[in-house]
Amino acid sequence: MRHPRALLLCLGFIVLSALSGFLYYRTQAIDIDVQDHVLPVLRELKQLDAEWNANVLKSRIGINSNYDPVTTLLQHLRALRARLRQGVDMAQGNALETASHQLEGAFASKEDLIEQFKSQNALLQNSMFYFPTAVGDLHALLHQERGTGTKQVRPLAALSAEVDQLLTDILLFNLNPAAELEEKILSTVTRIEERRGTYPDTLRESLDLLTRHARIIVRQRLAEDALTTRIVSLPIAKRIDDVRNAFDVQFKSMLEEKQRYRTYLFAYSGFLLILLSYAAWRLMHSYQVIAQVNKHLQVANETLEQRVAERTAELEHRSAQLAELATYDTLTGLINRRHLMAELTQALQRAERRGWIVALMFIDLDGFKEINDTYGHAAGDRVLQEVATRIKRHVRKEDAMGRLGGDEFVIVLNEIHIPDGAIRIAEAVLHELHALTELDGRVIRISASIGISSTKGGAKSPELLLSEADHAMYRAKECGKSCYRFSDATCHA
């Protein structure tokens, strides 16, 4: 019965704590400062939006030489909108979220329209800049033509007056794009283009440039005015007012909810105080039980210390087993590749200090695959164990022998002064394997291909020495197997 009671007490404590945390969270769910965060942002947004419209109009009529005022305000507006989104997220109201999304949509539409306005206004301002220059260039060409005594003096004079009037109409149209001026400008441009073939060749390129800029100005001015009207007519100010009204309603509702949960928390705190008093009485009553428990704990501690000592000894034993498994091959009892490379590294270090020669024999069994295929892997394992036992008879105490894996063995020979020592061991290995013709009642045929490499001192790395012996072993296999070969570097030495 104790465990269910403890579980119920624990569950009850979790429920009481969760309820207390929930009530406290609901009283703190609203940040009173959010009002000071949102309302100034809304006011600044409305002010900057009006300034944004003013800068667009200034760019339209050419007061602003570039679009930096528009772009700078756009960056500031985006920062304010990000701050507004934070305040809206803190307020958490559906109506407020809807109004905020509508405001964001209006700003996004306005940004797209202003990008279009900048593109079209750039074309318009470019043509407005070059149109008077084109008129001046044309007048200069007309003056040259009249000076040559051409017969078209009167048509050229009429063209000059027509171009001057077109310049006047273009400037007036840029200030007030009336439909009558548009029709007049396009009519003049059309007449000039129709009479293009009657003018001298020296004037045609200048006339084409003039008429092209005139058409661009008319077209872009009308398109830009339409964009400007759409930009100014966007209801951003109304959307800002909608957000403010929704925020006021939501903020008032959150304040009322916060006050209500404060009342709940006060009542709940009184209940917890009563419950805590009862728990204190029960705690005083439990002191005697605690004293008895302490006695039992003392006995338990002594038992635990004994078990810890036993467990520690067991862990040390297992650690020793794991260390042995990490060092030795479980099948043959020879050292594994990692430990063999460590032994080879130490042998090379000693050889470098004392001027010794270190030789390495790479042994690969011939015919081992046929034994596995014929008798199975269990028989193959027995062959590997027997081969390891026979070869190890000819390895000195100061040497090291290991199994790389599969049917590959390596012997590290220390303190070699002449190659006869390595040759003697290689021949002994070949003799031992040649004599192994029967094992566990099975007839077997096995031999070995042996590669030998060497180095004086620490001139070569362990990996290079092993690689040279490996290549020499493959040469032994190419020479008919059941033999040994020295590496090229060893033969040269």
At a CB cut-off of 8 Å and minimum separation 6, what does 106 contact? 234, 235, 236, 239
Regions of the chain short of the pLDDT cut 70: 1-3, 22-37, 59-68, 70, 91-92, 146-153, 317, 319-326, 418-419, 489-493
pTM: 0.41
Cβ atoms of 124 and 221 closer than 8 Å: yes
pLDDT at res. 33: 65
Largest CA distance in the chain: 133
Percentage of residues of the chain with pLDDT beyond 70: 88
**Using CA atoms, how far apart are residues 57 and 53, in angstroms rounded to an integer?**
6
Give the whole-angstrom CA distance, residue 116 versus residue 106: 15
pLDDT tens column, 413-447: 987 776 677 899 999 999 999 998 888 888 899 99
DSSP states of 10-25: HHHHHHHHHHHHHHHH
d(CA 242, CA 83): 17
Burial of 37 (0-12, 13-18, 19+ CB in 10 A): middle
CA pair distance 39, 32, nearest whole angstrom: 12
Q: At a CB cut-off of 8 Å and minimum separation 6, what does 45 contact?
A: 77, 80, 81, 84, 240
Q: Give yes or no for a contact between 99 and 241, defined as CB atoms under 8 angstroms apart.
A: no
Q: How far is it, in rounded angstroms, from Cα 358 to Cα 350?
A: 10
* Alpha-carbon separation of residue 483 from 15, 97, 473, 474, 480 (angstroms): 82, 87, 9, 11, 8
Give the separation between CA 10 and CA 16, rounded to whole angstroms.
10
Strands 483-486 and 447-456: parallel
Place of tokens 């979220």: 97
| CA–CA distance, 216 with 250 (Å, rounded to integer) | 52
In order, the DSSP letters of 148-200 are TT-S-HHHHHHHHHHHHHHHHHHHHHHHS--HHHHHHHHHHHHHHHHTGGGS-
pLDDT digits (tens, 9 = 90+) for 62-101: 666 566 676 777 778 778 778 777 777 776 677 878 888 8
- From the number of C-beta atoms within 10 Å of its C-beta (0-12, 13-18, 19+), residue 154 rates as exposed
Which strands, in side-by-side order, build the sheet including 357-366? 400-405, 408-416, 357-366, 447-456, 483-486
Would you call 459 helix, strand, or coil by DSSP?
coil
Q: Are 200 and 149 in contact (CB under 8 A)?
A: no
Provide the pLDDT for residue 492.
Answer: 46
pLDDT, one tens digit per residue, over 24-46 is 666 665 555 666 667 787 787 77
Tokens in use for 428? 């002994």
Q: Report the pLDDT value the prediction gives residue 362, as an integer from 0 to 100.
A: 96
Q: pLDDT by residue (tens digit) across 385-397?
A: 999 999 999 888 8
- Render pLDDT for 213-246 as a digit per residue (tens, 0 to 9): 888 888 888 887 888 888 778 888 888 888 788 7
Token pair listed for 373 = 């295929």
